[in-house]
């Protein structure tokens, strides 16, 4: 059984869990995800690996309570175990072809860009990071990003931290400034957050012709390429986020389609398998 070895509250209704998972962490790389079941009647819920400690054999997840299953998870305390824990799933992120990268995290999407920021920092080419949240309280991991990022920019809807506005406002400023310079321009943006945010980033970077990667968070069941629930339309083709993703070229994603599918189980109270298209719900697939 995979036990919770550490748990802390990061923001209202957002918990960080450090979970003992030596088998999962062994081959895990940034960008991959896990699926867990809280108990024997639990549904299978996917979460991006936010951090890992290969020596300690632990995986860190940031989980926002958005429904029945995540609320059930939130009831667990250090020492408790989850019924099932499987991963790493999906393809790892490959940003090796890019030199000047901007990472954009909205709400709990922060959990997904953190391992990227850390990996790029460790590789000696730290990225610029933009974080967005509704307010100061909902910002997460700012200290960690301060350490790992080349520069950190923050936007909140109410202006209680950083600049008042959206992540796209900050990104636009960076892209504009970048345009003035002749060389070493921004060659990749990776954005993770609620789908409307990712769509807005995609629309913006398209104007600037900058390659953009998003981590998609559709509904999933098995996560291994069996059920087809996580299908998306990317570049006019049907792809599966669990085995072909979770990351895709943002300019190829059919956003209207993806956003419509996210709300499949919205009516069912206990059906919050996916994170909802809520402002602060970016990181849970």
Partner 1 sequence: MAIDRSPRNRMPEQAPKLRAKNFDEVALGFSPEQAKAEASRCLQCKNAPCKSGCPVGVDIPEFLKAVQTGDFEGAGAVIGRANSLPAVCGRVCPQEEQCEKLCLRGRMDKPVAIGAVERFVGDFGLDKTPAPYDGPRTGKRAAVIGSGPSGLTVAAELAKNGVDVTIYEAFHRAGGVLVYGIPEFRLPKSLVRAEIDKLLRLGVTLMRNVVVGKTVLLDELTDRFDAVFIGSGAGLPMFMNLKGESYKGVISANEYLTRVNLMGAYRADSDTPVQRGRRVAVIGAGNVAMDAARTALRMGADSVTVVYRRGREEMPARAEEIHHAEEEGVRFELLAAPVEILGENGAAAGLLLRRTELSEPDASGRRRPVELAGSEFTIGADMVIVALGTSPNPLIKDSYPAIETTKKGTIVVDGRGMTSVDGVYAGGDAVTGAATVILAMGAGRKAAAAILERFKGQ
Q: Based on CB atoms, which residue is closest to partner 1, 34 or 155? A: 34
Residue partners of 151: CB distance under 8 A and separation at least 6: 128, 129
Q: Based on CB atoms, which residue is closest to partner 1, 229 or 246? A: 229
Phi, psi of 267 (to 5 degrees): -70, -30
Asked if 52 is part of the footprint of partner 1 (rule: CB under 8 A), the reply reads: no
DSSP for 212-281 reads EEEE-----SSSSSSS-TTEEEETTEEEEHHHH-SEEETTTB-HHHHHHHHTTTTTSTT-TTSPPS-TT-
Asked if 106 is part of the footprint of partner 1 (rule: CB under 8 A), the reply reads: no
Asked if 98 is part of the footprint of partner 1 (rule: CB under 8 A), the reply reads: no
Give the binding range for partner 1 (CB under 8 A) out of 169-177, 184-192, 229-237, 275-283: 229-237
> Is-contact 108 283, C-beta < 8 A?
yes
Q: Based on CB atoms, which residue is closest to partner 1, 27 or 151? A: 27
CA distance readout (Å), 142 to 133, 138, 161: 12, 11, 11
Q: Which of 141, 153, 240, 255 binds partner 1 (CB under 8 A)?
A: 240
Q: Per-residue x/- mask for partner 1, residues 163 to 202, rule CB under 8 A?
A: ----------------------------------------
Cis amide bond preceding 246, omega within 30 = yes
Asked if 94 is part of the footprint of partner 1 (rule: CB under 8 A), the reply reads: no
Asked if 225 is part of the footprint of partner 1 (rule: CB under 8 A), the reply reads: yes
Spatial CA neighbour of 221 closest among 248, 240, 239, 236:
240
Size of the site for partner 1 (CB under 8 A): 43
Give the C-alpha separation, 96 to 30, whole Å.
12
Minimum CB separation from partner 1 for residue 66, in Å?
A: 14
Asked if 226 is part of the footprint of partner 1 (rule: CB under 8 A), the reply reads: yes
Which residues bind to partner 1, rule: CB under 8 A? 23-24, 26-27, 32, 37, 41-44, 68-69, 72, 83-89, 221-222, 224-229, 231, 233, 238, 240, 243, 257, 260-261, 263-265, 268, 270-271, 273
């Amino acid at each position: 059984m995979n036990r919770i070895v550490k748990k802390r509250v990061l923001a209202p209704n957002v918990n960080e869990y450090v979970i003992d998972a030596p088998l999962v962490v062994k081959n895990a790389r940034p960008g991959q995800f896990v699926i867990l079941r809280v108990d024997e009647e639990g549904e299978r819920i996917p979460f991006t690996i936010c951090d890992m400690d290969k020596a300690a054999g632990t995986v860190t997840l940031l989980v926002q309570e958005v429904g029945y299953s995540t609320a059930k998870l939130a009831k667990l305390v250090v020492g408790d175990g989850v019924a099932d824990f499987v991963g790493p799933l999906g393809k790892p992120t490959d940003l090796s072809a890019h030199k000047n990268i901007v990472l954009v995290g909205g709400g709990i999407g922060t959990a997904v860009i953190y391992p990227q920021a850390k990996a790029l920092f460790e590789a000696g080419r730290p990225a610029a990071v933009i974080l967005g949240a509704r307010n100061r309280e909902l910002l997460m991991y700012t200290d960690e990003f301060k350490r790992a990022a080349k520069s950190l920019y923050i936007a909140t809807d109410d202006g209680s931290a950083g600049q008042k506005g959206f992540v796209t406002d900050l990104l636009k400023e960076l892209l504009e400034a970048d345009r003035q310079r002749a060389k070493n321009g921004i060659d990749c943006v990776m954005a993770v957050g609620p789908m409307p945010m990712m769509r807005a980033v995609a629309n913006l970077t398209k104007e600037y012709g900058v390659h953009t990667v998003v981590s998609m968070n559709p509904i999933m069941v098995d996560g291994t390429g069996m059920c087809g629930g996580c299908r998306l339309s990317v570049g006019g083709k049907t792809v599966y986020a669990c085995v072909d993703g979770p990351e895709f070229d943002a300019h190829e994603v059919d956003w209207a389609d993806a956003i419509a599918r996210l709300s499949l189980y919205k009516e069912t109270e206990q059906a919050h398998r996916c994170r909802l298209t809520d402002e602060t719900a970016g990181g849970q697939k």
